[in-house]
Amino acid sequence: MKKDYLGAWERCLTVIKEHVNNQTFKTWFEPIKAVKLAAEILTIEVPNKFFYEWLEENHLQVLKLALTEVLGKGGRLEYRFKVESHQNGTPQKHSDDELEDAIGVSPDQIQNPFVIPGIKRVKFSPQLNTAYRLDNYIEGDCNTLARSAGKAIANKPGETAFNPLFIYGDVGLGKTHLAQAIGNEVISSHPNKNVLYVSTEKFTNQLIQSIRNGSVNDFVNFYQLVDVLIVDDIQFLSEKQKTQEIFFNIFNHLKHCGKQIILTSDCAPNEMKGVQDRLLSRFKWGLEADLHRPDLETRIAIMEAKMSQEKIEVPRDVSHYICMHVKNNVRELEGILIQLIAQATLNQRAIDMTLAREVIQRFNNNDNREITVDLIKEMVAEHYNIPVDKLGSKTRKQDVALARHLSIYFSKEYTKNSLKSIGKYFGGRDHSTILHSCKTIKDRMDTDVAFKDTVANLEKRMQLNLA
């Protein structure tokens, strides 16, 4: 009988392997163990309930296909959960109920997802850049509300009405700087507080790894120990249903316990797509603070603060000239200053208006030659021999859909545009559609060598455009 169920599952795995890519197979199917075969019912053991739900939601069709081929049309799967207990090292079986809560678990018994396996356990690390501080985050009309709320939170984390603090705005406006600056201020004022910064992408990757390892309890427990949780680019939760469920539970626990939550996004909660309504409603519980492009006075103040910080001397007329001509965001302003200093140092030239004009002109020329969404659309449309306007249409013809997915993928990878902005170039598509297109292209590159070569060749053409 043992050989029957092991053999049946091995044959199922052979079928499955033909229909999924290598990474998917290793992550979601290799950890499964067959435990019983009764008639046409195959019982398999998965690490936990979350692993089971992920399989049912994302890989149900391939499982059905494999069962049908191996056991016939009446073939069925039954699941058994197995979670490792990190207290005594013995396996425990769980029913379909929710996994155990984290309350009351000793921190010493919880795996830290930020510690690399094999390296000696280190003190709780906030994962913050100490260069980001409130005293070097220049206040202006563009960010007054967000900075003031951040200062209040730093003084009394979790005790203000600004919980969560939801900071949103376009790229390069200082969302990450402000969020991390609040965290650093909390550590300075409240050294006993556990502060943690994490990107949404890292949070998701950690969760997937914990599901695979059967350590979701540890993952949830760890995040429930945090006093101030800062999550960057929360918009990337879009369409990640299981990640949203876990984050929802962590969010509720932290909020209930009076812990502080700070989130950043490139759009307001009511503009986010592919995120559960119950989660969006919680994002709105506290304060939504948007960041705008800095006005001239704020840009000048930022420039002077940067020069002081780096101990750089630039004539006032030169710094004002730069601030008048660089208007989009702080990141570009800092880039121009770096170029100015580099040109002056390498070419042994004085920092004056002549040099400033040359640097600004060079910046503008480079900016004009950068990869744009329009350039990408033209290049991809030409490659697939279709009209450019088809990429923004609603047609689902296979060649047009592939070209659209690829154009969106390149736009996200090679331009500075936000997801919302990219969507406008393709017929007003939303966040979730943009992310779906990117995933479609990445998945196809994993399984189709010829297509991967096509993508590489198009990337070379884009780079040549900048030469």
Q: What is the pLDDT, as a whole number, of residue 465?
A: 55
SS3 content of the chain, % helix, strand, coil (to 5): 55, 10, 35
Q: For the structural domain made of 296-368, what CATH number should be given? A: 1.10.8.60
Q: What is the pLDDT, as a whole number, of residue 367?
A: 53
Residue extent(s) of CATH 1.10.8.60 domains in the chain: 296-368
Architecture of domain 373-466: Orthogonal Bundle (1.10)
Q: What is the pLDDT, as a whole number, of residue 463?
A: 61
Q: What is the pLDDT, as a whole number, of residue 457?
A: 81
Q: How deeply is 86 buried, as exposed, middle or buried, from its count of CB atoms within 10 A (0-12, 13-18, 19+)?
A: middle
Residue extent(s) of CATH 3.40.50.300 domains in the chain: 134-290
The amino acid occupying position 17 is K
Q: What is the pLDDT of residues 455-466, one digit of tens each?
A: 888 887 776 555
Residue extent(s) of CATH 1.10.1750.10 domains in the chain: 373-466
Q: What is the DSSP letter of 173?
A: S
Q: What is the pLDDT, as a whole number, of residue 157?
A: 94
What is the CATH class of 134-290? alpha beta
Residue extent(s) of CATH 3.30.300.180 domains in the chain: 2-94
Q: What is the pLDDT of residues 18-59, one digit of tens each?
A: 888 877 788 888 889 888 888 788 889 887 776 777 787 778
Architecture of domain 2-94: 2-Layer Sandwich (3.30)
Q: What is the pLDDT of residues 73-97, one digit of tens each?
A: 888 888 887 644 333 333 333 333 3
pTM of the model: 0.58
Q: What is the pLDDT, as a whole number, of residue 93?
A: 37
Q: Which residues of 366-377 are buried (b: 16+ CB within 10 A; e: fewer)?
A: eeeeebbbebbb
Mean pLDDT by 10 residues, the chain (467 residues): 76 89 82 86 82 78 88 85 46 34 44 55 72 84 87 92 91 87 94 91 88 84 91 90 90 91 92 89 90 81 76 79 74 78 78 82 62 87 87 85 92 84 88 88 84 83 59
